[in-house]
Structure 1
Amino acid sequence: MKKTIGSIVKHIVLLVLAVIWLVPIIWLVVTSFSGYKGINTAHFFPTSWSMDNFVQLLTRPDSVVQYVSWFKNTLIIAVFTCIISTIFVIMVSYAMSCMRFNGRKQIMSASLILNMFPGPLLMIAIYFILKMLGLTNSHFGMIIVYSAGSGLGFLIMKGFMDTIPMSLKEAARLEGASEAKIFMKVILPLCKPIVVYQVISSFLIPWGDFVFAKLMLNSGVSKDWTVAIGLYNMLEKSLVNKYFSVFCAGGIVVAIPISILFVIMQKYYVEGVTGGSVKG
Structure 2
Amino acid sequence: MFISKKNIRVSLSYIALILIAIICIYPAIWVILSSLRPGASLYSETLIPAKITFDHYLSLFKKYPFAQWYFNTIKIAVISTFFGTIFTLITGYVFSVYRFNGRKKLMNTLLVLGLFPGFMSMIAIYILLTQMNLLNTHIAIILVYVAGSPLFFLFAKSYFDTMPKSVIEAARIDGAGHLLTFFRIILPMSKPLIVFTSLMTFNGAFTDFIFAKLVLRSPEQKTLAVGLFDLIGEKVASQFTVFAAGCVMIALPVTLLFIFMQRYLIEGLTAGADKG
Q: Same fold (TM over 0.5)?
A: yes
| Residue 136 of structure 1: how far off its partner (Å) | 1.5
- Say how many residue pairs are matched: 272
Scaled by the length of structure 1, what TM-score is found?
Answer: 0.90
Q: Percent identity?
A: 38
What is aligned with 1:23?
26
Residue correspondence of structure 1 range 205-244 to structure 2 within 5 A: 205-217=204-216, 219=217, 221-236=218-233, 237-240=235-238, 243-244=239-240
What is aligned with 2:52?
49
Matches of 2:99 and 2:7 in 1, distance apart? 54
Gap runs ≥5 in structure 2: none
Indicate whether 1:39 and 2:42 are aligned.
Answer: yes
| Residue 109 of structure 1: how far off its partner (Å) | 2.0
Contact 1:36 1:48 in 2 (8 A): no
Indicate whether 1:10 and 2:13 are aligned.
Answer: yes
Q: Deviations over 1:63-116 (max 9, x none)?
A: xx2211111111111111111111111221221112232322222122122222
| Residue 4 of structure 1: how far off its partner (Å) | 4.0
| Residue 189 of structure 1: how far off its partner (Å) | 0.9
**1:270 alignment partner, one of 245, 266, 269:** 266
**2:251 alignment partner, one of 236, 248, 255:** 255
Matches of 2:122 and 2:246 in 1, distance apart? 27
Matches of 1:4 and 1:165 in 2, distance apart? 41
Matches of 1:107 and 1:72 in 2, distance apart? 37
Matches of 2:95 and 2:7 in 1, distance apart? 49
Residue correspondence of structure 1 range 120-199 to structure 2 within 5 A: 120-199=119-198
Matches of 1:101 and 1:7 in 2, distance apart? 49
| Residue 149 of structure 1: how far off its partner (Å) | 2.1
Q: Deviations over 1:167-217 (max 9, x none)?
A: 111122222222222222221111111011111111111111111111222
Amino acid at match of 1:82: T
Matches of 1:6 and 1:106 in 2, distance apart? 44
Task: Name the SS of the counterpart of 1:197 in structure 2.
Answer: helix
Residue correspondence of structure 1 range 79-118 to structure 2 within 5 A: 79-118=78-117
**CA 1:12–1:129 in structure 2 vs 1: closer, same or farther (change >3 Å)?**
same
**CA 1:158–1:46 in structure 2 vs 1: closer, same or farther (change >3 Å)?**
same
| RMSD (Å) for aligned C-alpha atoms | 1.8
